């Protein structure tokens, strides 16, 4: 199948790189977003998200004339839906963005078109949600137009490389739809392209992230056990991983982001009677911020009220500006709830504000009045903080490292008492 023009609905962390990559490979691309600030910003060459190399790619796509950004879709050979799928307060998937984007395609759908859903979704979303909406056009999925599911499988911070090099799975509502999807993505994908059914592709994406979530939950429980038994969990994990068939992941303040902390709930929603382990793992990881706050309470002598705490890092993972479902943000909010004064610093999101939580403009300002320091994200620049330098900038002399980013001997030499998540200290 040949493609000259495509329409990408949703210009976030996946949609924008995808649209720009297609445009720089010679296709005419209409990028659509319902947020007027996003549309206006991109039309002026301004990005609303940070990803290494993305600004250069987007600007090249815009300058080529192949990428046009607007707030409404139009006729095209193919449509890609790349909108968010968050979850509701009861942990059910919020498919309102998927439904709205699909509905927006209906007036422009023509015979022979290809529609691909990229948004992470519960099993059977393509068949039971997207297909019926598109068929309101009077056309039949798999007969009059092609319909497929192809999830993104990239790591923030490496999206531009992985979107091209990673293997891609494409699941069609019928074999011809999967083949049409392959024809589109092979324009720039260098990795293997695996064809399957739409529901299998949906499940593959959820399985990948659920597998990691379950394994992180084990690591987080190990950190709590080590805390209780007076063991250094980081040392214990390193030793255990010397076994050729063991690969324990690293604990931390929780699990966040738009995938690992969300996707397992889609399985629980779809089959609550047979997902006991998945639900339990989610509950463990969701409770890890509470464990961090309990450690801070012990450090403070049992009460955090009115304590000034410098919170270093709010992103959900190192070296990105993505704060979606971030456990670091949850820790900060729990500290506020406990009556502490939170002095937050997130170098990649200086304009972040959520309720009473706001980011201070510099590390120096965050630590200047602090009584306690807590490292919540392993940003390279935060891990490389000089304890000697910090000691001259803050009255704080106790610190908590939740990601094993600081060397205890260096901080103790600079006059700090450094606690670490998962390093238990048994009272004599």
- Each residue's pLDDT tens digit, 79-114: 999 999 988 888 889 999 999 999 999 999 999 999
Domain assignment present for 209: no
Query: CA-CA distance, 315 to 312, in Å (whole number)?
Result: 10
- Total number of domains in the chain: 2
Rounded to whole angstroms, the Cα distance separating 7 from 115 reads 9
Residues 146 and 288 in one domain: no
| The predicted structure's pLDDT at residue 60 | 95
User: Would residue 87 count as lying in a domain?
Assistant: yes
User: 16 with 111, same domain?
Assistant: yes
Long-range pairs of 301-307 with CB within 8 A, sequence gap ≥ 24 = 304/335, 304/338, 304/339, 304/340, 305/338, 305/339, 305/340, 306/339, 306/340, 306/341, 307/340, 307/341, 307/371, 307/372
Same domain, 165 and 241: no
Structural domain for 324, as ranges: 230-420
Cβ 20 vs Cβ 67: under 8 Å: yes
314 and 369 assigned to the same domain: yes
Catalytic positions, please? 205, 259
Q: Are residues 297 and 182 in the same domain?
A: no
Rounded CA-CA distance 51/157 in Å is 6
Q: How far is CA 220 from CA 90, 228, 294, 375, in A?
A: 23, 13, 14, 17
Residue spans of alpha helices (H) in 300-325: none
- Regarding whether 41 and 183 lie in a shared domain, the answer is yes
71 and 175 assigned to the same domain: yes
Using the 3D structure, point to which of 160, 191, 222 is the last residue of a domain.
191
Q: What's the pLDDT at 428?
A: 37
Do residues 174 and 259 share a domain? no
pLDDT at 261 over 50: yes
Is residue 249 domain-shared with residue 353, that is, in the same domain?
yes
Instruction: Please work out, in degrees rounded to the nearest 5, the angle formed at the alpha carbon of residue 268 by the alpha carbons of 265 and 269.
Output: 85
Give the three-state DSSP class for 410: helix
Cβ atoms of 423 and 226 closer than 8 Å: yes
Instruction: Return the ∠ at Cα 98 (arms to 94 and 99), rounded to 5°.
Output: 95
The per-residue pLDDT for range 283-314, each reduced to its tens digit, is: 999 999 999 999 999 999 999 999 999 999 99
User: Are 347 and 415 in a shared domain?
Assistant: yes
Residue 200 within any structural domain of the chain: no
pLDDT at 426: 56
Phi-psi group of 405: left, alpha or beta (phi > 0 → left; psi -120 to 50 → alpha; rest → beta): alpha
Q: Are residues 234 and 187 in the same domain?
A: no
Asked which of 162, 191, 220 is the last residue of a domain, the reply is: 191
Q: Would 211 be classed as within a structural domain?
A: no
Q: Is the pLDDT of residue 41 over 60?
A: yes
What is the rounded CA–CA span in Å between residue 359 and residue 361?
Answer: 7
Q: Which residues of 154-177 are buried (b: 16+ CB within 10 A; e: fewer)?
A: bebbebbebbbebebbbbbbbeeb
Query: What is the rounded distance in angstroms from the CA atom of residue 330 to the CA atom of residue 328?
Result: 5
| Phi/psi of residue 356, nearest 5 degrees | -85, -5
Task: Give, as one character, the DSSP assignment of residue 138.
Answer: S
Residue 352 maps to a domain = yes
Sequence-separated contacts (24+) of 233-239 with Cβ below 8 Å: 233/421, 233/422, 233/423, 234/404, 234/420, 234/422, 234/423
Is 198 a member of any domain? no
* pLDDT tens per residue, range 114-151: 999 999 999 999 999 999 999 999 999 999 999 999 99
Tell me whether residue 203 is in a domain: no
**Residue 343: which of 317, 306, 288 has the closest Cα?**
306
What mean pLDDT value characterizes the chain? 95
Within this chain, do residues 247 and 336 fall inside the same structural domain, yes or no? yes
Q: Does any domain span residue 214?
A: no
Of 163, 191, 219, the position where a domain reaches its end is 191
**Helix or strand holding residue 15 (H, E):** helix 15-24
Cα Rg of the chain, angstroms: 24
Strand partners, 115: 79, 147
Task: Tell me the CATH number at 284.
Answer: 3.40.50.720
Residue of 101, 162, 150, 164 lying closest to 129 (CA atoms): 101
pTM of this structure: 0.87
């Amino acid at each position: 199948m040949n493609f000259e023009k495509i329409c990408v609905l949703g210009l976030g962390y996946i949609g924008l790189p995808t649209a720009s990559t297609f445009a720089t490979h010679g296709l005419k691309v209409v990028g659509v977003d319902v947020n007027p600030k996003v549309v206006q910003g991109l039309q002026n060459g301004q990005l609303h998200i940070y990803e290494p190399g993305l600004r250069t790619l987007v600007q090249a796509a815009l300058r080529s004339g192949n990428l046009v950004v607007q707030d409404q879709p139009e006729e095209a050979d193919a449509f890609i839906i790349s909108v968010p799928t968050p979850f509701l307060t009861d942990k059910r998937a919020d498919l309102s963005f998927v439904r709205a984007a699909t509905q927006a395609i209906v007036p422009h759908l023509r015979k022979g078109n290809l529609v691909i859903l990229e948004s992470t979704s519960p099993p059977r979303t393509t068949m039971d949600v997207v297909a019926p909406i598109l068929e309101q056009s009077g056309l039949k999925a798999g007969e009059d137009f092609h319909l497929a599911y192809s999830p993104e499988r990239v790591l923030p911070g490496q999206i531009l490389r992985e979107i091209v090099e990673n293997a891609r799975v494409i699941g069609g509502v019928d074999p011809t739809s999967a083949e049409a999807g392959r024809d589109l993505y092979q324009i720039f994908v260098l990795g293997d392209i695996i064809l399957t059914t739409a529901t299998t592709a949906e499940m593959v994406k959820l399985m990948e992230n659920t597998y990691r979530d379950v394994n992180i939950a084990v690591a987080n429980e190990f950190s709590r056990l080590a805390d209780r038994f007076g063991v250094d969990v980081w040392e214990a994990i390193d030793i255990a991983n010397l076994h050729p068939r063991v690969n324990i992941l690293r604990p931390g303040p929780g699990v966040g982001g738009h995938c690992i902390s969300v996707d397992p709930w889609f399985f629980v929603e779809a089959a609550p009677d047979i997902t006991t382990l998945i639900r339990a793992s989610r509950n463990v990881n969701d409770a890890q911020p509470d464990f961090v706050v309990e450690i801070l309470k012990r450090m403070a002598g049992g009460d955090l009220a009115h304590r000034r705490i410098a919170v270093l890092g709010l992103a959900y993972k190192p070296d990105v500006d993505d704060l979606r479902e971030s456990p670091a943000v949850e820790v900060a909010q729990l500290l506020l709830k406990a009556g502490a004064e939170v002095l937050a610093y997130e170098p990649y999101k200086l304009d972040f504000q959520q309720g009473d939580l706001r980011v201070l403009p510099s590390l120096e300002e965050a630590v200047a009045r602090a009584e306690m320091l807590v490292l919540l994200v392993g940003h390279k620049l935060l891990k490389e903080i000089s304890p000697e330098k910090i000691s001259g900038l803050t009255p704080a002399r106790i610190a908590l490292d939740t990601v094993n980013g600081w060397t205890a001997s260096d901080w103790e030499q600079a006059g700090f008492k450094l606690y670490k998540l998962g390093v238990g200290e048994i009272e004599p």
